[in-house]
Amino acid sequence: MLTLKLISEETERVIKGLEKKHFAGAREAIEKVLEYDKLRRESQQKLDSNKQHQNQLSKQIGGLMMEGKKDEAEKVKAEVAELKAADKALQEIMDKAQADMTNELLQIPNIPNDLVPEGKDANDNVVVKEGGPMPNLGDDALCHWDLLKKYHLVDFDMGVKITGAGFPIYVGKMARFQRALEAFFLDEARKAGYLEVQPPYVVNEASGYGTGQLPDKEGQMYHCNLDNLYLIPTAEVPVTNIFRDEILDEKDLPIKRCAYSACFRREAGSYGKDVRGLNRLHQFDKVEIVRIDTPEHSYQSLDEMLAHVEGLVQKLELPYHILRLCGGDMSFTSSICYDFEVWSGAQKRWLEVSSVSNFESYQANRLHCRFRRADTKKTELCHTLNGSALALPRIVAAIIENNQTPEGIRVPKALVPYCGFEMLDDKNFE
């Protein structure tokens, strides 16, 4: 969440940033925070003053008793009792103001970096780079859902039978191909210096609040009511929460972690062409990269993460472009975000396969993730970053469509050593 220091010292910049993100009621929300903070501070000052007065009066009581002035001592005792009663009321006011302020802060999104373009939605995103060879497919090219059915690679109907729509079953070579992609992405991350971890697939409420999925995306997460646990929408949540309530040493930054996980998203409100085949699933696999860094180095880290993801799509021989998201299309928690989209030849549309974001200190403030300066020994909030490297379903969709041939689907050269075959088809693989 935004720091109180930032809101207090740069109020108008914060409001302007929230308006750039099209956050409704930005000024009112910030004014509420400042009002709660004022009430909290005033109550604290009165409480401190009362306690100081109590200490002075308490010292008088002993002296009055020694002088035999019992009645006067009793009056002072009564005054101390009144002050203590007032202390309790002030503490309650202060605690409520703090709770109300924190609750309000949790509802306020991050403000965008100055590099973020103005805009309301995806139509206003800016293409900053593009590359890769566009496929030359004929008019009879099949979309991936037809190819998957033709070669018996994915069973959507069986997934519906077992669970419901959005939970496909990968069969034969496609199951092997999924594992090949996961291994390839993890190996590439390891080569880039990321330490692999294997996180839990369910997290507690504190973890959801720490990375900002709660309360913003509560309706999009699968909730295990009995235990009050949430299925993860991305490995970002458990991996970043490793560093919740931690004070790190500056010399150890940037910290680089990667993780493979299944991801679970309710995707409420999705419909039409966006949910055909593998375009939008409730369960899918993804490799995530996460960095914890210093404020002055985090944008270099962001550039390195973008180069890493770009290298992956290049090795998969996919046409791609990179978008810098406008203020209105950014997530609740990000300060700046770049989306990678690959071209789906048969659908003739771009498919998002990765988001790479710098959250600056927003997540770290919620997580209480700090680092200690090597020179001054002072502690500061870290910057957190993450990115998909990569999400599988739409990558698979684009590979299948763009590489279809009369004999089957050609496997990109980089993946052949991982899966052990050059063509995706319905022939048995031993």
Query: Any binding-site annotation on 67?
Result: no
**Rounded-to-integer distance, Cα 397 and Cα 320, Å:** 14
> If you search the block for the tokens 């899966």, which residue do you land on?
419
**Rounded-to-integer distance, Cα 279 and Cα 5, Å:** 42
Query: Any binding-site annotation on 207?
Result: no
> If you search the block for the tokens 């309360």, which residue do you land on?
215
Query: Any binding-site annotation on 266?
Result: yes
| DSSP reduced 3-state for 317 | coil
Q: Residue 427 is encoded by which pair of tokens?
A: 């022939």
Query: Any binding-site annotation on 74?
Result: no
Residue 141, H or E segment: none
DSSP assignment of 180-236, as one string? HHHHHHHHHHHHTTPEE----SEEEHHHHHHHT-TTTTGGGS-EETTTTEEE-SSTH
> If you search the block for the tokens 């989209």, which residue do you land on?
341
Residue 156, H or E segment: helix 156-162
Query: Any binding-site annotation on 317?
Result: no
Whether 389 and 266 have beta carbons less than 8 Å apart is answered as no
Query: Any binding-site annotation on 43?
Result: no
Query: Any binding-site annotation on 9?
Result: no
Torsion of CA 25, 236, 366, 114, to 10 degrees: -50
> If you search the block for the tokens 């207090």, which residue do you land on?
8
DSSP assignment of 265-291, as one string? ---TT--GGGGSTTSS-SEEEEEEEEE
Query: Any binding-site annotation on 265?
Result: yes
CB burial readout 90-127, b (16+ within 10 A) else e: beebbeebbebbeebbeebbbbbbeebeebeeeeebee
Query: Any binding-site annotation on 430?
Result: no
Instruction: Please report the sign of the dihedral spanned by the C-alpha atoms of residue 412, residue 396, residue 354, residue 244.
Output: negative
Query: Any binding-site annotation on 110?
Result: no
Q: Residue 44 is encoded by which pair of tokens?
A: 């604290």
- Residues in the annotated binding site for L-serine: 234, 265, 288, 386
- Residues in the annotated binding site for ATP: 265-267, 352-355
